[in-house]
């Protein structure tokens, strides 16, 4: 069991702040004046950007570099964000898709998305020093998969095929897990109502889309079991709720995040589904002035793996080109923090004595 799950603070969404609270309080009359003058109004979502799991994974890699230098390998991207990955690549960290690329005895960090037991086994066989930066909320889903599989359930995992997190979770009980993405997939499932079934979800799904699939599952399998606490994480939920609130009054939505970031894509799709032109960009360099030619109000947010610096660069772009005035709209405060894994603190530089195993499960 992951001890961080026991020691972490309450992984809850935090306190709700009633209504919208502009950070740099701007009176309604001022907004009116701005709009009359043709100034752009930017609604900046809060919460946005880094979640506790991403923060912890990045802190882990920074701390590992500080302790043993940059000769560190990371299995897949540490988080799905180009800016973050480029920063570490620039420091000398290597991101690999196969453990064959890691020299025997080398240092390997598992990313925030988690890995399957098979990857852990290969890492042990190559005597790698491993640091597990899996987000504890992803580990929670792994543990649920193991528990249900041990109890003889067939597990329906709602998620996106090929996503690192889904691959890792399915690897916990490959014989027992069936992946579905849509309600149509549910209709094609081979199980009957008499089968022992449970469902789990990827942590970064669209809450609305996942609920549609869950409804389809419950309709077809009224007795299906599920974990007491849902798997879509607090950060995903909060960022989606904030976007839902802001796009009601926005002409354009900008989401800072990488194309392969699941939770960032969901934010962009939410805006588009509500008829608001929505763009997912890695940074200000990808913004096009024509996107804003008709826009008086622009909503800006960032996926859970996008750093604040790219948000600030985007705001600078809008201020410079459109005289934008910024109002931070606080839906909810977040106070979640995850501790770094203990094995990080016993790393030894490559070439020095390698411990038999530093892995935690
Ligand atoms: Fe963890 Fe959620 Fe962040 Fe993923 S998005 S790393 S599950 S807190």
Mean pLDDT for the chain overall = 90
The reported pLDDT for the residue numbered 5 is 29
- Residues 97-102, mean pLDDT to the nearest whole number: 96
Q: What angle separates helix 52-68 from helix 82-91, to the nearest 10 degrees?
A: 10
Question: Which atom belonging to ligand 1 lies closest to the Cα atom of 304?
Answer: 5
- Cα 207 to ligand 1 centre (Å): 14
- In this predicted structure, what is the pLDDT of residue 25? 41
- Phi, psi torsion values for 150, nearest 5 degrees: -65, -25
Distance 235 CA to ligand 1 centre (A): 6
Residue with tokens 């882990």: 60
The answer on pLDDT for 113 being more than 80 is yes
Question: Could you identify the atom of ligand 1 that is nearest to the CA of residue 52?
Answer: 8
Residue 288 pLDDT exceeds 90: yes
Please compute the mean of the pLDDT values over residues 282-308 and round it to a whole number.
97
Closest residue by Cα to atom 8, ligand 1, is 53
pLDDT at 39: 87
Query: Which DSSP category does 297 fall into?
Result: E
Residue 24 has pLDDT above 80, yes or no: no
Q: Is 165 a residue of the active site?
A: yes
| For the CA of 57, the nearest atom of ligand 1 | 6
- Looking up tokens 């925030």 gives 112
Q: Please report the pLDDT score of residue 351 as a whole number.
A: 73
Position 116 pLDDT exceeds 50: yes
Q: Does the pLDDT at position 37 exceed 80?
A: no
**CA dist., res. 101 & res. 219, Å (int):** 46
Give the Å distance between the CA of 115 and the centre of ligand 1.
Answer: 14
Residue 350: its pLDDT value, please? Answer: 78
Q: Is the pLDDT of residue 352 over 90?
A: no
Q: How far apart are CA 4 and CA 295, in angstroms?
A: 45
Q: Is the dihedral of CA 158, 161, 165, 167 positive or negative?
A: positive
Q: How many angstroms separate the CA atoms of 98 and 247, rounded?
A: 41
Q: Are strands 297-302 and 252-256 parallel, antiparallel or unpaired?
A: parallel
How would CATH label the architecture of 15-51+234-330? 3-Layer(aba) Sandwich (3.40)
CA 48 from chain centre, in angstroms, equals 11
pLDDT, position 247: 97
**123: pLDDT strictly greater than 90:** yes
Residue 222 is predicted with a pLDDT of: 98
Higher pLDDT, 15 or 244: 244
In the predicted model, is pLDDT for residue 106 greater than 60?
A: yes
118-153 burial, b at 16+ Cβ within 10 Å, e below that, comes to: ebbebbeebebbbbbbbbbbbbbbbbbbbebbeeeb
Question: Which residue in the list 118, 144, 161, 165 is annotated as catalytic?
Answer: 165
Rounded Cα–Cα distance for residues 126 and 104 (Å): 5
Q: What is the mean pLDDT of residues 37-64?
A: 95
What pLDDT shows up at residue 218?
Answer: 98
pLDDT band at 97; cut points 50, 70, 90: very high
**Residue 46: which residues within 8 A CB-CB, separation 6 or more?**
23, 242, 328, 329, 330, 331
| Residues in contact with ligand 1 (CB, 6 Å cut-off) | 51-54, 112, 135, 137-138, 203-204, 233, 235-236, 263, 304
Asked if 15-51+234-330 and 137-220 have one fold, the answer is yes
Annotated domain spans of the chain: 15-51+234-330, 52-134+339-346, 137-220
Q: What is the mean pLDDT of residues 258-262?
A: 96
Ligand 1: residue of 141, 232, 303, 304 to mutate (most ligand atoms within 8 A of CB) is 304
Average pLDDT rounded to a whole number, residues 197-221 = 97
CA distance 298 to 324: 9
How much distance in Å is there from the Cα of 13 to the middle of ligand 1? 12
In ligand 1, the atom with minimum distance to the C-alpha of 112 is 6
The HSE-up count of residue 288 (CA atoms within 13 Å, CB side) is: 7
Q: Which atom of ligand 1 lies at the shortest distance from residue 51's CA?
A: 3
Name the 3-class secondary structure at 228: coil
Output b/e per residue, 1-22; b: 16+ Cβ within 10 A.
Answer: ebebeeebeebebeeeeeeeeb
Calculate how far, in angstroms, residue 10's C-alpha sits from the geometric centre of ligand 1. Answer: 14
Q: Of the residues 5, 57, 236, 240, which should be mutated to test ligand 1's pocket, given the most ligand atoms within 8 Å of the CB?
A: 236
Fold of 137-220: Cobalt-precorrin-4 Transmethylase; domain 1 (3.40.1010)
The pLDDT of residue 360 = 40
Using alpha carbons, list the distances in angstroms from residue 282 to 77, 85, 259.
Answer: 15, 12, 8
CA angle 83, 85, 88 (to 5 degrees): 110
- CA 242 to CA 253: how far, in whole Å? 12
* Confidence tier at 36 by pLDDT (50, 70, 90): low
**Measured in angstroms, how far is the CA atom of residue 11 from the centroid of ligand 1?**
11
In this structure, of 120-124, 229-233, 302-306, 353-357, the range with the lowest mean pLDDT score is 353-357
52-134+339-346 has CATH 3.40.30.10 classification:
no
Q: How far is CA 254 from the centre of its chain?
A: 17
Question: Which of 2, 12, 112, 205 has most ligand 1 atoms within 8 Å of its beta carbon, as the pocket-test mutant?
Answer: 112
């Amino acid at each position: 069991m992951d001890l961080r799950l026991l020691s972490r603070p309450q992984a809850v969404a935090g306190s709700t702040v009633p209504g919208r609270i502009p950070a740099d309080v701007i009176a309604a009359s001022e907004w009116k004046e701005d709009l009359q003058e043709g100034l752009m109004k930017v609604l900046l979502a809060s919460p946005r950007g880094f979640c506790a799991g991403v923060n912890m994974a990045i802190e882990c890699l920074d701390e590992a570099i500080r302790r043993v230098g940059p000769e560190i390998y990371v299995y897949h991207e540490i988080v799905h964000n180009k800016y973050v990955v480029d920063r570490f690549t620039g420091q000398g960290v290597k991101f690999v898709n196969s453990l064959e690329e890691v020299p025997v005895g080398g240092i390997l960090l598992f990313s925030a998305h988690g890995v399957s037991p098979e990857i852990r086994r290969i890492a042990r066989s190559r005597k790698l020093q491993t640091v597990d930066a899996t987000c504890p909320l992803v580990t929670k889903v792994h543990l649920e998969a193991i528990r249900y599989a041990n109890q003889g359930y067939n597990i329906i995992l709602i998620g996106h095929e090929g996503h690192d997190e889904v691959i890792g979770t399915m690897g916990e009980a490959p014989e027992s897990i069936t992946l579905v993405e849509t309600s149509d997939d549910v209709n094609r499932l081979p199980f009957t109502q008499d089968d022992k079934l449970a469902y789990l979800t990827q942590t970064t799904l669209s809450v609305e889309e996942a609920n549609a699939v869950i409804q389809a599952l419950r309709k077809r399998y009224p007795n299906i079991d599920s974990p007491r606490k849902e798997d879509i994480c607090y950060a995903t939920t909060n960022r989606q709720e904030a976007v839902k609130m802001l796009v009601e009054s926005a002409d354009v939505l900008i989401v800072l995040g990488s194309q392969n970031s699941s939770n960032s894509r969901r934010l962009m799709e939410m805006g588009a589904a509500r008829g608001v032109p929505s763009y997912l960009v890695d940074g200000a360099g990808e913004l096009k002035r024509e996107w804003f030619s008709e826009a008086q109000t622009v909503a800006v947010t960032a996926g859970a793996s996008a750093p604040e610096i790219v948000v600030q660069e985007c705001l600078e772009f809008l201020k410079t080109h459109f005289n934008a005035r910024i109002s931070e709209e606080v839906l909810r405060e977040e106070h979640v923090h995850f501790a770094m894994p203990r094995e990080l603190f016993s790393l030894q530089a490559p070439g020095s004595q390698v411990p038999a195993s530093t892995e935690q499960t």
